[in-house]
Amino acid sequence: MISNATRKRVTPLPYLLILPTAVFVALFTAWPVLLSIYQSFFLQRMNIARFREPTFIGWGNYVNLFTDPYFIQVIKNTLVYVLGTVPISILLGFLFALLVNRKVRGIGFFRLAFFHPMVLPMVSAATIWLFLFTPDYGLFNSTLRFLGYTGPENWTGNPNLALLSVIIVAIWKNSGYYMVFYLAGLQNLPEDVYEAAALDGANGWQTLWKITFPLLRRTTLFISTVAFIDSFRTVDHIFVLTSGGPSRSSTTLLFDLWLERFEYQDIGTAAAITVIFVLVLMIFTVTNFITSERKEA
């Protein structure tokens, strides 16, 4: 009886220790999200005197958003951007990691070369690319021309290329970052598995896809989550390169959120976009986690 009671008693120490984190998460994550959900049901526009006080409009903001062709275009742009950046930058990160995971003299230089875009602030990186993208003499266009490209050269001003140009910059910027995680993963892989594979006569390709890649699954899970979230929350280069244009062809969800909140001062719509934003990220993260944990079993 007594021993049972002791076992059941709650020990407060662990809870106390997570209290600071819990407070910060509640204050800076949970509370803003709850507030956004609440605000998203109200019409509130700071720059119209009679709409400055919030009025309840139910699902109005959401209905407006999903019937607005602009917002549909923003969703499409975001999808293209995410699908364009995430898989390719992860794949490139993996390849770079394989390339530099060897003991050669001066390998540090190559690792640095792949990694350095990550060290640059996004705004600086985008400014550099602004000049690389310059028509005529810009390095990017000169190189493409040398390879036989004859298409349009005003990358950031062309409605069909503007989104692609911000994707290119994001891939260039992030691949090196993901490489570092893969490199760390690769260097932690057990040697004996490879020895066994070599004894069994596995070729390089088989070793790569049957051993290395599966063993790095947790790294891939981590990187894909980070990459996905990152692709939603980077906007700096869009500000510098295209300002979301031309004709909104490179406006993504977060850029649109900034427009609604700070350019149009439309708090209700901005809150609705925030809710959509958080939902998408949560669904992805949870699904990603669940599916990969299931594979584990």
Partner 1 sequence: MTKRILYQLFAVFLILGLLIGACAPTQEPAQEVPAAAEEAAPAESAGEEAAVEEEAAMEPVTIQVFYPVAVDAPIADILNGYIADFEAEYPYITVEPVFSGGYADVQTAIQTTVDGGGEPPALGVMLATALYDLINADYIIPLDGYISEMDDGDAFVADFLPAFLDNSYYDDQLWSIPFQRSAVVMYYNADMFAAAGLEPPTSWQSWADAAQALTVKDGDTTNWGLHFSSDWPYWLFQPLAIGNGQNILEDDCTVVFDDPAVIEAVQFYIDLSEVYGAMPPGVQASWATDPTDLASGATAMITHSSGSLAGLLAQADFELGVMPYPGKEEGTYASVPGGGNFYIMKGAPKEKQDAAWLFVEFISRPEYVADYSINTGYIAHRYSAYDTDAMVAYVADVPQALDTRDALQYAGAELAVQNLGQVRGIFHDYIQRAINGEMSAADAMAAAQVEADAALADYCP
Please give the residue ranges that form the binding site for partner 1 (CB under 8 A): 12-13, 16-17, 19-20, 23, 45-49, 51-52, 127, 130-131, 133-137, 145, 152, 154-159, 162, 241-243, 245-248, 259, 262-265, 267
Which residue lies nearer to partner 1 by CB, 82 or 130? 130
Q: How far is the CB of 154 from partner 1 (least distance, A)?
A: 6
Choose among 167, 169, 180, 194: nearest CA to 94.
Answer: 180
Distance between CA 186 and CA 208 in Å, rounded? Answer: 11
Distance between CA 32 and CA 40 in Å, rounded? Answer: 12
Distance between CA 103 and CA 109 in Å, rounded? Answer: 12
**Within the chain, where are the H helices?**
2-8, 13-25, 31-39, 60-67, 69-100, 107-119, 122-132, 139-146, 162-187, 191-199, 204-206, 213-215, 217-233, 236-241, 253-258, 267-296
Q: How far is the CB of 231 from partner 1 (least distance, A)?
A: 22
Q: How far is the CB of 7 from partner 1 (least distance, A)?
A: 16
Which residue lies nearer to partner 1 by CB, 50 or 102? 50
Choose among 278, 81, 110, 256: nearest CA to 179.
Answer: 110
Which residue lies nearer to partner 1 by CB, 111 or 248? 248
Q: How far is the CB of 255 from partner 1 (least distance, A)?
A: 12
SS3 for 46?
A: coil
Q: How far is the CB of 253 from partner 1 (least distance, A)?
A: 16
* CB of 175 closer than 8 Å to CB of 98: no
Which residue lies nearer to partner 1 by CB, 81 or 133? 133
Which residue lies nearer to partner 1 by CB, 100 or 240? 240
Q: How far is the CB of 290 from partner 1 (least distance, A)?
A: 33
Which residue lies nearer to partner 1 by CB, 219 or 234? 234
